[in-house]
Chains A and B, each alone.
Chain A
Amino acid sequence: MESGMRESYGEDTGCPENCNAPDLRVQIGSLALRNPVMTASGTFGYAREFENLVDLDQLGGIIVKGISLQPKPGNPPPRIVETSCGMLNAIGLENVGVDRFISGKMPYLRKLSTPVVVNILGDSVEEYSEIARKLDGVEGVAALEVNISCPNVKKGGVAFGTVPEMAARVTEAVRQASQLPLIVKLSPNVTDIVLMAKAVEGAGADAVSLINTLIGMAIDPVSRRPKLANVIGGLSGPAIKPVALRMVWQVAQAISLPVIGIGGITTANDALEFFLAGATAVQVGTANFYDPSSTGNIVQGLKGYLQEQGEDRLVDIIGTLKIGTD
Chain B
Amino acid sequence: MTSRRPNRILAASAAASAGLLVLAGCASGGSADSSGDDATAAAEIVVGSQNEPTNLDQIFGGSSGVTEVFTGNVYEGLFRITDDAEVEPLLASETEVSDDGLVYTFTLADAAFHSGEELTADDVKYSLERFVGEESIAARKSQLSVIDHIDVVDDETVAVTLKQPSISFTYNLGYVWIVNEDAGDLTTSSDGTGPYALADYRKGDSITLDVNEDYWGEAPANGGVVYQYYADPTALNNALLTGAVDLVTSQSNPDSLGEFEAAGFEIIEGTSTTKELLAFNDRLAPFDDANVRKAIYSAIDREKLLDAIWDGRGELIGSMVPPSEPWYLDLADNNPYDVQLAEQLLADAGYADGFTFTIDTPDSGVHSTVAEFLKSELAKVGVTVEINILTDDEWYQKVYTDKDFEATLQGHVNDRDINFYGNPDFYWGYDNADVQNWLAQSEAASSVEEQTELIAQANQQISDDAASVWLYLNPQLRIAAEGVTGVPENGLNSLFYVYDITKA
Q: Are A and B a genuine interacting pair, yes or no?
A: no
Chain B interface residues (CB < 8 Å from chain A): none
